Amino acid sequence: MASIRDGENELSILGRKTEYRQDYAPEVLEAFTNKHQGNDYWVRFHCPEFTSLCPITGQPDYATIHISYIPDVKMVESKSLKLYLFSFRNHGAFHEDCVNIIMKDLIELMNPRYIEVLGDFTPRGGISILPFCNYGRPGTKYEELASQRLASYPVR
């Protein structure tokens, strides 16, 4: 049976002093080996304190980011994900760009079987924006997964 400490050599951020980046920093993302590669299961993150900047006005935008994925060989380490999401704080990007950038960076990091990212952005001027993006490898039936999962997301 694998020890709980197996895979520690794959991670460099966990257990060390936290250093927050002030610029967009995909390089802080770290992955570790999935110990249950034979199982299809969901990993979900709910990040209610996401902040980025409007690229035109420089005003802050606030969102809850929902990330759900079905891992394959690699999984994202949660502290590195937190630091990565924090790195958007001073990054200028539209809401739609943010969710697509997050998804693409996570695909590059871990090559999941399926992933989706939804941004539930705080209303501005009376309009809420909820951009959603997803990716599924051929054979994952990601269209069915996406429609089932979208129905479960909160809408204001």
Q: Any idea what the CATH number is for the domain that residue 64 is in?
A: 3.30.1130.10
The pTM (predicted TM-score) of the whole model is 0.82
Phi-psi region of 140 (alpha: psi -120 to 50; beta: other; left: phi over 0): alpha
Residue 95 domain boundaries: 28-152
List the catalytic residue out of 6, 23, 40, 61.
61
Is 28 labelled a binding residue?
Answer: no
User: Minimal CA–CA distance to 13: which of 65, 72, 86?
Assistant: 86
Q: What is the pLDDT of residue 140?
A: 74
With respect to residue 4, please indicate whether it lies within any of the assigned structural domains. Answer: no
The number of domains in the chain is: 1
The verdict on whether 105 is a catalytic residue reads no
Q: What is the pLDDT of residue 1?
A: 42
How far, in Å, CA of 131 to CA of 72, rounded? 25
List the catalytic residue out of 54, 72, 97, 133.
54
Is 95 labelled a binding residue?
Answer: yes
The verdict on whether 133 is a catalytic residue reads no
DSSP state of 22: S
Mean pLDDT by 10 residues, the chain (156 residues): 50 68 89 95 95 94 96 96 96 96 98 96 91 88 66 62
